[in-house]
Chain A
Amino acid sequence: AQKITQTQPGMFVQEKEAVTLDCTYDTSDQSYGLFWYKQPSSGEMIFLIYQGSYDEQNATEGRYSLNFQKARKSANLVISASQLGDSAMYFCAMRENNSGGSNYKLTFGKGTLLTVNP
């Protein structure tokens, strides 16, 4: 079974509008972390935002926010006021605490390709 599921292969949004990218995860750990990365066409992976499983507040970083619903095991990324430069692949990733807390491996979803239209 997939640990990270991103159900939207592609999404389109108009410039200046908000967009939500979906991510659901599967884990039996109580302590885990969720990350979102952006990958432009050039290939580098850019860290956007982090949410810990025990964090009570939804994470925010500038125009990025995370809609964390623990009971539903979802961690959707919300991008507000989309810009043309936001066009990229977006990956959701999870770190599980299954090795005593010292193992920081990430498991990635397959990604969502976001296209921002002018």
Chain B
Amino acid sequence: DGGITQSPKYLFRKEGQNVTLSCEQNLNHDAMYWYRQDPGQGLRLIYYSQIVNDFQKGDIAEGYSVSREKKESFPLTVTSAQKNPTAFYLCASSARTGPNQPQHFGDGTRLSIL
């Protein structure tokens, strides 16, 4: 079945460590997104990419980095510069065939600090 796969489901980070969250989609979508969700809050956009080899900062990009070398993949790196990384991270993708196309989400990665 087509969908979005995020891994790992749970991730623990030590102080000063960079960690990378994986996001892979087989929906043939051009656009991909990373969101952060804190407890009891809505989703906030970290980075997004509309085509391969291009991406833009969202509302809370500081302390994060991304790459988009392949259409199917949009990994997110949480760097040591992100001082409060504990959150639920959601990856999404959408078609660019029309503005009514919904974003489809993965199951998320929960990141915690050791």
Q: Are A91 and B108 in contact (CB under 8 A)?
A: no
Query: Is B63 in contact with chain A by the CB < 8 A criterion?
Result: no
Q: Which of the residues A91, A97, A103 comes within 8 Å of B42, measured between beta carbons?
A: A91
Q: Which of B70-114 contact A (CB under 8 A)?
A: 88, 90, 92, 94, 96, 99-108, 110
Residues of B within 8 A of A108 (CB): 35, 42-44
Q: How many residues of B contact A (CB 8 A)?
A: 28
**18 more CB-based (< 8 A) A-B contacts, given A42-B107, A44-B108:** A4-B42, A33-B99, A43-B88, A44-B106, A52-B99, A52-B100, A91-B43, A102-B50, A103-B50, A104-B101, A105-B33, A105-B45, A105-B48, A106-B43, A108-B35, A108-B42, A108-B44, A110-B42
A to B CB contacts below 8 Å, 13 in the list: A4-B42, A35-B102, A35-B103, A43-B107, A43-B110, A45-B92, A47-B104, A101-B99, A104-B50, A104-B94, A104-B99, A105-B48, A106-B43
Tell me which residues across on chain B come within 8 A of A105, comparing CB atoms: 33, 45, 48, 58
A residues 48-92 near B (Cβ < 8 Å) are: 50, 52, 91
Complex: A51 Cα to B21 Cα, angstroms: 32
The answer to whether B41 has its CB under 8 Å from any CB of chain A is: yes
Shortest 6 CB-CB contacts between residues of A and residues of B: A108-B42, A45-B105, A47-B102, A108-B43, A110-B42, A43-B108
Q: By the criterion CB–CB under 8 Å, are B99 and A95 in contact?
A: yes
A residues near B96, Cβ cutoff 8 Å: 102, 104
Query: Which B residues contact A (CB, under 8 angstroms)?
Result: 31, 33, 35, 40-45, 48, 50, 58, 88, 90, 92, 94, 96, 99-108, 110
User: Quick one: closest B residue to A107, CB to CB?
Assistant: B45
| Residues of chain A within 8 A of B108, CB atoms compared | 43-44
Contact in complex: B90, A45 (CB < 8 Å): yes
A49–chain B nearest beta-carbon distance, Å: 9
